Amino acid sequence: MKGGKWVVIALALGMMAATAGWLGELRERVKLGAPGVKVDPLELYRPDGGLVKPRGVVLPAEAGGFGSRALDPTAGELTGLPEDTTFGRRYYTNGNNRLAVTLTVVLMGRDHTSIHQPQYCLYAQDWTVTNTARIVLRMERPYAYGLPAIRLDATLPLANGQMVHGIYIYWFVCGDKITAEEGSRLWSMWKTVLGKGVTERWAYVSYFATCLPGGESATFERLQEFIKASVPEFQTVAGARMDSAAPERGGK
Q: What is the mean pLDDT of the chain?
A: 83
Check pLDDT > 80 for residue 29: no
Specify the pLDDT at position 168: 96
Specify the pLDDT at position 154: 96
pTM, 2 dp: 0.81
**CA atoms of 58 and 41, how far apart (whole Å):** 9
**7-16, 87-96, 116-125, 230-239: which is most confident:** 230-239
Picking from 75, 30, 26, the residue whose alpha carbon sits closest to that of residue 50 is 75
Check pLDDT > 90 for residue 158: no
What are the C-alpha distances in Å from 116 to residues 93, 135, 171, 183? 27, 20, 12, 12
Q: Per-residue confidence at 166, pLDDT binned at 50, 70, 90?
A: very high
Specify the pLDDT at position 28: 58
Question: Which whole number is the average pLDDT over 133-144?
Answer: 96
Picking from 73, 63, 113, 123, the residue whose alpha carbon sits closest to that of residue 93 is 63
Check pLDDT > 60 for residue 5: no
Q: In this prediction, what percent of the chain has a pLDDT beyond 90? A: 52
**CA atoms of 198 and 174, how far apart (whole Å):** 12
Check pLDDT > 90 for residue 82: no
Check pLDDT > 70 for residue 75: yes
Residue 181's Cβ-count burial label (10 Å; 0-12, 13-18, 19+) is middle
Specify the pLDDT at position 76: 80
**CA atoms of 221 and 86, how far apart (whole Å):** 30
Domain ranges of the chain: 1-31, 33-234
